[in-house]
Amino acid sequence: MIGGLFIYNHKGEVLISRVYRDDIGRNAVDAFRVNVIHARQQVRSPVTNIARTSFFHVKRANIWLAAVTKQNVNAAMVFEFLYKMCDVMTAYFGKISEENIKNNFVLIYELLDEILDFGYPQNSETGALKTFITQQGIKGQHQTKEEQSQITSQVTGQIGWRREGIKYRRNELFLDVLESVNLLMSPQGQVLSAHVSGRVVMKSYLSGMPECKFGMNDKIVIDKQGKGGTTDEAGKSELGGSSGKQSIAIDDCTFHQCVRLSKFDSERSISFIPPDGEYELMRYRTTKDIILPFRVIPLVREVGRTKLEVKVVIKSNFKPSLLAQKIEVRIPTPLNTSGVQVICMKGKAKYKASENAIVWKIKRMAGMKESQISAEIELLPTNDKKKWARPPISMNFEVPFAPSGLKVRYLKVFESKLNYSDHDVIKWVRYIGRSGIYETRC
Amino acid sequence: MEWASQLCENRHIGSKMTDSKYFTTTKKGEIFELKAELNSDKKEKKKEAVKKVIASMTVGKDVSALFPDVVNCMQTDNLELKKLVYLYLMNYAKSQPDMAIMAVNTFVKDCEDPNPLIRALAVRTMGCIRVDKITEYLCEPLRKCLKDEDPYVRKTAAVCVAKLHDINAQLVEDQGFLDTLKDLISDSNPMVVANAVAALSEIAESHPNSNLLDLNPQSINKLLTALNECTEWGQIFILDCLANYTPRDDRESQSICERVTPRLSHANSAVVLSAVKVLMKFMEMLPKDLDYYGTLLKKLAPPLVTLLSAEPELQYVALRNINLIVQKRPEILKHEMKVFFVKYNDPIYVKLEKLDIMIRLASQANIAQVLAELKEYATEVDVDFVRKAVRAIGRCAIKVEQSAERCVSTLLDLIQTKVNYVVQEAIVVIKDIFRKYPNKYESVIATLCENLDSLDEPEARAAMIWIVGEYAERIDNADELLESFLEGFHDESTQVQLQLLTAIVKLFLKKPTETQELVQQVLSLATQDSDNPDLRDRGYIYWRLLSTDPVAAKEVVLAEKPLISEETDLIEPTLLEELICHIGTLASVYHKPPSAFVEGSRGVQHRRLPARAGSGESSESPDVGQPVGAVPDTPPAVIPSQGDLLGDLLNLDLAPPTSSAPTVTPSMQMGAMDLLGGGLDSLMGDESETLGGDIAGSPAMGAGLASAPVVMPASLGAPVSSGLDDLFDLGGGVGMPTGAFVVPKTIWLPAMKAKGLEISGTFARRAGVIQMELSLTNKAMSVMTDFAIQFNRNSFGLAPAGPLQVLTPLSPNQTTEISLPLSNVGPVMKMEPLNNLQVAVKNNIDVFYFSCQYPISILFVEEGKMERQVFLATWKDIPNDNETQYQIKDCHLNSDAATTRLQSSNIFTIAKRTVEGQDMLYQSIKLTNGIWVLVELRVQTGSPNYMLSVKCRAPEVAQLVYQCYEMVLKN
């Protein structure tokens, strides 16, 4: 199991050091600093073995988090734990930075003592932790016996992510379908790979211990219901942009630990008791029938050894009534670029020498439109034999629909003990499609 | 004053913004100030002071001097302060054990506190204080906490048992905590169950043979129920524990799989990977024709692909595991090639792993796409990645024949870029392509030759030389090219030298007239001017071969080469099986068994996959049932070839016999020559194969290390197999009355090869005389007469002391037993392996040759007991470099029994020392040729593993001595 946990700043100074196992000596702290943080060559693996001691590290901004062990631990678990620890810290004091860590080091030690025992991760749900690890550190004394046992049963219980007795005057929930669409396209416009990785993020403000059921246009479910398609007909045009797909094929999905997995496995229904506040209900991935919101058509021509002509056309491919936002096209330029002239029909384009790229920004663009940029790049003559690698043109954008075609069909709330019903809950649904790694080779 | 004002500020801002100041104080006399503050009456001030102490501790300052002052703060009802003091205690208690006792009272009191959080905190912290005196006091509170009414306390106490076990295993057993822990597996609270499972699994690891976890269908059922209810981490503990279970039959296996599969949809990647591990393992037991088997295979792919959208570090772990899974069950991901395409922004470690998997998944169906991708990658920036991509193109050509042409032209394009490392890498892979498709792509040789000068890496140079030698007849200036390499012969690496030697010999055999001078030059460079034994050996072999029989030389050197394998870097099957059982763990990331990187006994037990149910199925995967422990035994036949050393040694210690060697009668010498001539076929046969092996192994010479030991024994196997067998088939030895161990007879010469004469035999040392015990069986139709025997020269000068006495003619189907006494004054020549003996047996029909290996113990003389003083001096005198260490596993003798048994084989124990439960035996051995071998044998009470250190002036014999120990101790 995890033998110790260290946090360093960018210089390699230790901010937090907690050793759980006897086999990890003080010199392990220095070994990591010397061999990884100060290493002459950048370390090429997130797992490093130094003198029979294994170090797992992740970096958040300038901060290094390292877990140390001498045993054959579950490596996936260690990384999941490190991420989880970042989440917990962020939930407690915001951004992970040297200043925040120094300001909260007592809290961090307290958390580390609670969520990692002898190197075994324990309950690390912020909701539960916040009931008894507080920044004031005084809550412990003023609790009644009932409160105390409520805390312990929540921390260890089956529903470790929610406490009893939550009350809201207005029962409300927000559902965001956030998708990132990834594309790799050849210069000729052939899709080399495309997939959508989506997340359903929920903010729930519900009283009591509500039982929820979530439904979407999952192909397997729809097909099972037989001719369910006719009832969905009306909702077809509701979802902008999508070409009226009734159901989508989900390649795979994963769920927050509140979802009953065995029920999903047997009936494919998603039922759960939600945590309070914001959390990620599910993640999913689709690869079939993806709506690619933009198409990039590059044209690069080398004019002699010192000049390059670039023309890039982008076409929006969704309903004209919808607007894409925050569009950014990044056209890489060779390292020996000396000057760039750009002409674009829409938006603003700039050559950024420090980033070796022309960045073209468009605030808004409706569907079924196209726009163009052309640039002349002057090059310095070089002796470098190696040709310019021509990195792909990448794109960023945000569209108000789900490129996978996913639709929320329902989210039902049942709470038998309290007197509110599914109808009383105010529900909000929103779809946002963003670009993931959206690249076209040129 | 400064503090007071800061504190006032705190009140306003809220304490959260101020902790960083503790990091900044670096004044002199700080400790003194802190001491004063710690003893302050004001609670706030005390707390502030403890915070400062903790901050100093974090940055590595020694604040242990404050121990009593900090411990004084422990008695408080302020939980935050209490936690800080505990943190300090955990760090420094070990250095101040006596002071730490002061804390015990508070702990014991806290364990009775009405607040469960405080009870748990106390028992958790107490377990982390590794002071013997404290652990005694821990037992009672721990016992109470294990039965506490509050689950939070119980789950903490469960882990505490593992802590205590780590400090004092005996205490845990004596106090009966293990049973209480086992009971917790049936606890009503899932988290208590999960922690109990984790604790028990860890404890069980240090007791490999105990049935601590006692997994049976009932307890498995409990675990599976808890699996649905506990936290993500608890699920991991339970799944990892389940993976150690072996189901009774395929039905149980299926039902567990069915209940584990829902975990594949968990958001936590570690849960998913651990579930994959359980499924991969239990799947092994399912019959392949079962519908469920197919369903399960299909279910595995999507979650594995999903892992690739996790954070990069997890992607890396996932990819390393997928690499294993793809090797074990290629069908799972064969349609998922695209997800392994490299993204421009992937971290380099993800890119390299993806590329590896792409090569494994490449097939005719997807080769076009793969090639297009690889071509892109070959233009990227990162040198390692580009190299790997170029190499991958070559692998594709070899794997998918249809694509070979396209791959070659892609490689040529890449060579045109003139980027140095791309060119070199391309040449290395083109060589392999030539191997795979001979006489097909020679047109590119001209282009390759243009780049000769730019090659500066040994691997590329060796590859280029190989190409020139192989196609010497078609390259007009092959001799000039090779000659140009010859100029700096001694500066080249061994790899290049060997290749150059072979290439020039090839050239000579193809164009003998023009290149005689060249070949002589290289032969003399290799044999006379080189210190490298490999090179010299190869040089001598060629030389002798060329001078005796050029036709045979041609057959050997220009022989058709064995096929080159399509897959490279494959993990050896038994290791792969073990790694599959470790999916998700560090072992699967390193692709090494845990024993390779974990110290001590923990986790070193080998895991293996269960055998498939149904008898018909088991034959399908014969490797499954094989004990993993057998692996390390296979390759020891190779002895480090330090010929000159042994020569020295023989000259020194064996003066009489060596000097007598030249005076052997002419007939005797003729016989020896004869033998050599006859034996040469088999010798050269295997030499040419190893040459081939050299080349075959090279497709990924980076991995050469991994593949070499696997290839070598196979190629050596044929000619010496009988000898090897008798070394390794040691089971069921028959103890002789004298007590010295004798290997059972094995067949040395099968009847098939000797016109009906079958010879089996063994060696023994009886009353100071070396005996070769032979059984001659006539399996032919006619009577055999006129038997005679001769030995080739060998390392220790063994020779028959008398003629082979077969008194009566051997009639068909008759067997005769003969004991042939041997002397050790025969001619000496170093053999490979050292204990190899080549024998010629003649009868009225023909002369037959075979080789066998004798256990070195027959050379141990009776007067091998060294004086203590002499032993000490000699031990010191022999340089440490000559010391070799071995581990003898699974030997259950105590040191006295071992002593007696070794003594009967003339291994004499001179002294015995016992240090910390470890018996050290000092032993000496004298060989027939006067070499002394000194041995230190360490026997740990209670551990089945012995450590053997062998020191000898002739380190070559160490391996043989080790084998002998293995043999004597285990039979």
Contact state of B265 with A72 under an 8 Å Cβ cutoff: no
Contacts of residue B71, defined as CB under 8 A and 6 or more positions apart, other chains included, come to B85, B89, B99, B100, B102, B103
CB–CB of B274 and A74 under 8 A? yes
Spatial strand order in the sheet of B908-915: B883-888, B946-952, B932-940, B918-926, B908-915
% of chain A residues with pLDDT over 90: 59
> Residue A226 — pLDDT band, cuts 50, 70, 90?
low
Least-confidence region, from A371-375, B193-197, B904-908: B904-908
Amino acid B641: pLDDT? 35
Question: What pLDDT, in 10s, does the model give residues B201-242?
Answer: 999 888 766 677 778 888 899 899 889 888 999 999 999 999
Residue B731 in this model has a pLDDT that exceeds 80: no
Task: Judge contact between B822 and B794, C-beta under 8 A.
Answer: no
d(CA B860, CA A286): 72
pLDDT tens by residue, B84-107:
888 888 888 888 888 788 888 888
Tell me the chain B residues in contact with residue A254 when contact means C-beta distances shorter than 8 Å. Answer: 265-267, 272, 303, 306
ipTM score for this prediction: 0.81
Q: Inter-chain contact A158–B190, Cβ cutoff 8 Å? A: yes
Distance (Å, whole) CA A127 – CA A164: 12
d(CA B426, CA B387): 8
Cβ <8 Å between A29 and B313: no
pLDDT at B687: 39
**pLDDT band at residue A25 under the 50/70/90 scheme:** confident
Q: For residue range A78-137, what is the model confidence (pLDDT) as tens digits?
A: 999 999 999 999 999 999 999 999 989 889 999 999 999 999 999 888 888 888 887 664
The pLDDT value given to residue A71: 92
How far apart (Å, rounded) are the C-alpha atoms in residues A175 and A278? 10
- Residue-level pLDDT at B27: 57
Question: Taking 60 as the threshold, does the pLDDT of residue A244 lie above it?
Answer: no
Residue B23, pLDDT score: 67
Give the distance from residue A363's alpha carbon to the nearest chain B alpha carbon, in angstroms.
25
Q: Which residues of B touch A21 (CB under 8 A)?
A: 166
For residues A291 and A288, give the distance between their C-alpha atoms in angstroms, rounded to a whole number.
Answer: 9
Residue B937: both structure tokens together: 């044998």
Relative orientation angle of helices B404-416 and B383-399, to the nearest 10 degrees:
150
pLDDT tens profile B109-158: 888 988 888 899 999 998 888 888 788 888 999 999 999 999 999 999 99
Question: Would you place residue B607 in the very low, low, confident or very high pLDDT band (cuts 50, 70, 90)?
Answer: confident
Residues of B in contact with A16 (CB under 8 A): 58
Using a CB-CB cut-off of 8 Å, the residues of chain A touching B163 are 118
Per-residue model confidence as pLDDT tens digits over B31-66: 888 888 888 888 888 888 888 888 888 887 888 888
Structure tokens at A49: 């073995």
Side by side, which strands form the sheet with A252-255? A252-255, A277-286, A191-205, A172-185, A426-440, A393-399, A323-332, A357-366, A348-352
State how far the Cα of B966 lies from the Cα of B803, in Å rounded to an integer.
Answer: 33
Distances (CA, A) of B708 to B96, B499, B591, B728: 53, 17, 17, 21
Contact A385 B417 (CB under 8 A): yes
Q: Residue type at B503?
A: A
Residues of B in contact with A389 (CB under 8 A): 379-381
Residues of A in contact with B86 (CB under 8 A): 113
Q: Which residues of B touch A140 (CB under 8 A)?
A: 79, 115, 117-118
Measure CA A176 to chain center: 13
Q: How confident is the model at residue B575 (pLDDT cuts 50, 70, 90)?
A: very high
The CA-atom distances, in angstroms, between B246 and each of A102, B253, B276 are 49, 8, 16
Task: Give the pLDDT of residue A39.
Answer: 87
Q: Is the per-residue pLDDT at B319 higher than 90? A: yes
Q: How far is CA A253 from CA B304, B309, B847, in A?
A: 11, 11, 74
Q: Are B88 and B54 in contact (CB under 8 A)?
A: yes
Q: For the segment B680-701, what is each residue's pLDDT rounded down to a tens digit?
A: 343 343 433 333 333 333 333 3
B786 compared with B591, residue with greater pLDDT: B591
Do residue A122 and residue B233 have CB atoms under 8 angstroms apart?
A: yes
* Residue of B92, B132, B309 to mutate for A, most A C-beta atoms under 10 A: B309
Average pLDDT score, chain B: 79
Q: Which tokens is B91 given?
A: 């760090």
Q: What is the pLDDT of residue A272?
A: 93
Beta bridge partners of B759: B749, B776
Q: How far is CA B237 from CA A77, A264, B233, B585, B589, in A?
A: 10, 22, 6, 12, 19
Say whether pLDDT at B530 is over 60: yes
Nearest-CB residue to A72 (from B22, B313, B594): B594
Helix (H, G, I), strand (E, B) or coil at A202: strand
Q: Average the pLDDT over B839-852 and give the result.
A: 85
> Both tokens of residue B884?
């070799």
Closest alpha carbon within chain A to B48 = A106
Search chain B and give the residue with CA nearest A393.
B344
What burial letters (b/e) apply to B76-95, b meaning 16+ CB within 10 Å? bebbbbbbbbbbbbbbbbee
Average pLDDT of the residues in B830-844: 84
Q: pLDDT tens digits for B865-907?
A: 888 888 888 888 887 788 888 888 887 778 888 888 888 888 8
**Preferred mutation among B308, B313, B418 to probe A, highest tally of A CBs within 10 A:** B313
Please give the average per-residue pLDDT across A320-340, as a whole number: 92
Q: Is A57 helix (H, G, I), strand (E, B) or coil?
A: strand
**Which residue among B198, B266, B314 sits closest to A120, beta carbon to beta carbon?**
B198
State chain A's mean pLDDT as an integer: 87
- Chain A environment of B198 (Cβ under 8 Å): 1, 120
pLDDT in tens, B733-764: 333 344 567 778 888 888 877 888 888 888 88
This prediction has a pTM of 0.69
* Alpha-carbon gap, residue B137 to B104, rounded angstroms: 7
Which residue among A120, A257, A282 places its CB closest to the CB of B232?
A257
The pLDDT tens digits of the residues spanning B911-922 come to 888 877 788 888
Instruction: Name the residue of chain B whose CA is nearest to A99's CA.
Output: B20
Does residue A376 or residue B832 have the better pLDDT?
A376
Average pLDDT estimate for B358-380: 90
What percent of chain B clears pLDDT 90, i.e. is strictly above it? Answer: 23
* 3-class secondary-structure state, position A183: strand
**CA distance linking residue B193 with residue B213, whole number of Å:** 12
State which amino acid sits at residue B192.
V
User: Chain B partners of A275 at a C-beta cutoff of 8 Å?
Assistant: none
CA distance A56 to B589: 11
CA distance B87 to chain A (A): 8
DSSP string for residues in B575-639? HHHHHHTTTTBHHHHHTS-GGGT--SSTT-S---PPPPSSHHHHTTSTTSSS-GGGGGGSGGG--
Task: Tell me the two tokens of residue B730.
Answer: 């040691």
Contact check, Cβ <8 Å, A120/B233? yes
Mutate to test the interface with A, among B9, B79, B154, B384 (most CBs of A within 10 A): B79
Percentage with pLDDT > 70 across chain B: 82
What letter does residue B794 receive in the DSSP assignment? B
Cβ of A71 within 8 Å of Cβ of B19? The answer is no
d(CA B366, CA B370): 6
Which are the contacts of B371, defined by CB distance < 8 A and separation ≥ 6? B393, B396, B403, B406, B407, B410
If DSSP codes are grouped into helix, strand and coil, which group holds residue A145?
helix
Confidence grade of residue B702 (pLDDT, cut at 50, 70, 90): very low
DSSP assignment of B719-761, as one string? HHHHHHHHHH--TTPEEPTT--EEPPPEEEE-GGGGTTEEEEE
Task: Name beta bridge partners: B918.
Answer: B915, B940
Enumerate the residues of chain A whose CB falls inside 8 A of the CB of residue B373. Answer: 192
Q: What are phi and psi of B284, to 5 degrees?
A: -55, -30
Alpha helices in B290-419 (DSSP H): 291-306, 312-328, 348-361, 367-377, 383-399, 404-416
Residue type, A237: S
Crossing angle of helices B291-306 and B312-328, in 10° steps, is: 150
Listed in sequence order, the DSSP H helices in B511-601 are 516-527, 533-548, 550-557, 573-580, 586-590
* Inter-residue contact A406 to A177 (CB < 8 Å): yes
pLDDT confidence of B488, banded at 50, 70, 90? confident
Q: Which of B114, B163, B167 is nearest to B142 (CA)?
A: B163
Tokens of B64: 């242990």
Which comes out higher in pLDDT, residue A161 or A228?
A161
Q: How high is the pLDDT of residue A219?
A: 87
pLDDT greater at residue A206 or residue B704 = A206
Is pLDDT at B664 greater than 50 in this prediction?
A: no
**Residue range B773-801: mean pLDDT, rounded:** 84
Residue B561: pLDDT band with limits 50, 70, 90: confident
The 8-class DSSP code of residue B339 comes to: G
Pick from A58, A262, A285: CB nearest B306: A285
Res B586: pLDDT? 95
d(CA B734, CA A309): 87
- Residue with the bigger pLDDT between A418 and A171: it is A171
Contact B418 A56 (CB under 8 A): no
Q: Peptide bond preceding B594: is omega within 30 degrees of 0, i.e. cis?
A: no
Give ∠ CA A434-A435-A441 in degrees, rounded to 5.
165
Through-space distance between the first and last CA atoms of chain B, rounded to whole angstroms: 81
CB contact under 8 A, B597 and A145: no
DSSP assignment of B870-918: HHHHHHHHS-GGGEEEEEE-S----HHHHHHHHHTTT-EEEEEEEETTE
Which residue of A lies nearest to B165 if distances are taken between CA atoms?
A: A118
Q: What is the 3-state secondary structure (H, E, C) of B268-315?
A: CHHHHHHHHHHHHHHHCCCCCCCHHHHHHHHHHHHHHHHHHHCCHHHH
Determine the average pLDDT of the residues in B401-417: 89
Number of Cβ within a 10 Å radius of residue B231: 25
Q: For residue B305, is pLDDT > 90? A: yes
pLDDT bracket for residue B352 (50, 70, 90): very high
For B321, residues 6+ apart whose C-beta sits below 8 A from its C-beta are B273, B276, B583, B584, B588, B589
Select from A75, A125, A132 the Cβ nearest to the Cβ of B117: A132
Residue type, B134: I
Comparison of pLDDT for B25 and A302, the residue scoring more: A302
Using 50, 70 and 90 to split pLDDT, how confident is the model at B624?
A: very low
